[in-house]
Amino acid sequence: MKPLVPVSTGARIVLGAGFFVVFVAFWGAATWSGWVPPLFLASPERTLLAGWSLLTEFGFAGDIAITVFRVVGGFLIAAAAGVPLGLMMGAFKPVEAFFEPFISFARYLPASAFIPLLILWAGVGEAQKLSVIFIGSFFQVVIMVALIAGATRMDLVEAAYTLGARSRGILRRVIIPAAAPQVMETLRLVLGWAWTYVIVAELIGATSGIGHMIMDSQRLLDTGQMIFGIVVIGVIGLVTDFLFKALNRRLFPWAVL
């Protein structure tokens, strides 16, 4: 191995899949040998069996669907509100001066700490779940998008001015397209965080969803089901990440992503 020398695509796939194999092998070794009792950790095959029964007997697909809906819904609302505000803050310094101090304060408020209040305000329905994700994502999106838009290359802005652009043209035809790829990367990250908020929201005061299933399984001490639930979240995360990256490559062929 030499520092910073790239690997081929084939080698990358083999190595990436390899660690999953190693991980499952250690998990199997720890459980099959009896080193860790099944009460604390189910073996790989028991986890898969638990997953199969969840899906076929207990309608777990519905839980997955409702959780995906909450994550995507809350995330989209946060993005739809946060991206425009962030762009305006990045582009126009008075707007930034007005919002930035409050948003810097608000983004340190832990979304999970709002759950009891939100239950009081919005009940235990979908509005409350979406609100938790919104609070967790919105302020992060705003701050990061403002930072990206504010870091637009000044020489590109100046070139646009000398070509006759005015404020509106600078925003629409320079700042927004220049920021777009990084904004999408930010959204990809924030979607990942939204998954942690949804599970927390579902652990408290929920009657459906992956988080609720994990909570139920704890009462039954069914570690197989709990682990299966966690693995499902990981797989969904992996797939959305992959889709997001593919979308970005398609949307921004000019950028080196």
Partner 1 sequence: MSRKRLAITGVTRSFAGHRGAAPMLALRPIDLMVEPGEFVAILGPSGCGKSTLLRIVAGLDQPTGGTVTLDGVPVTAPGPDRGMVFQSYTLFPWLTVAQNIRFGLAERGVPEAEQQAIAARFIARTGLTGFENHWPRQLSGGMQQRCALARALANDPEILLLDEPFGALDHQTRELMQELLLEIWDADRKTVLFVTHDIDEAIFLANRVVVMSARPGRIKAEVPVSLPYPRDWTMKTTPAFATLKARLMGEIREEVRKAAMA
**Which residue ranges make up the site for partner 1 (CB under 8 A)?**
155-156, 158-165, 169, 173-174, 177-178, 180, 252-256
43 vs 12: CA distance, rounded Å: 28
Minimum distance from CB of 43 to partner 1 (Å)? 51
Helical H segments across 107-174, by residue range: 115-122, 126-150, 154-162, 167-170
Contact 209, 130 (CB under 8 A): no
**CA atoms 226, 228, 232, 237: torsion sign:** positive
Query: For partner 1, which is the closer residue by CB, 220 or 256?
Result: 256
Minimum distance from CB of 149 to partner 1 (Å)? 14
Query: For partner 1, which is the closer residue by CB, 45 or 158?
Result: 158
Minimum distance from CB of 152 to partner 1 (Å)? 11
SS3 104: helix
Minimum distance from CB of 254 to partner 1 (Å)? 4
In Å, the largest CA–CA distance within the chain is 74
**CA atoms 73, 78, 84, 87: torsion sign:** negative
Minimum distance from CB of 242 to partner 1 (Å)? 24
What is the DSSP annotation of 29-66? HHHHTTSS-TTT---HHHHHHHHHHHHHHS-HHHHHHH
Query: For partner 1, which is the closer residue by CB, 12 or 173?
Result: 173
Query: For partner 1, which is the closer residue by CB, 34 or 253?
Result: 253
Cα dihedral 132, 134, 136, 140 in deg (nearest 10): -170
Query: For partner 1, which is the closer residue by CB, 61 or 251?
Result: 251
Minimum distance from CB of 133 to partner 1 (Å)? 31
Distances (CA, A) of 161 to 56, 91, 149, 176, 179: 62, 15, 17, 15, 18
Query: For partner 1, which is the closer residue by CB, 25 or 159?
Result: 159
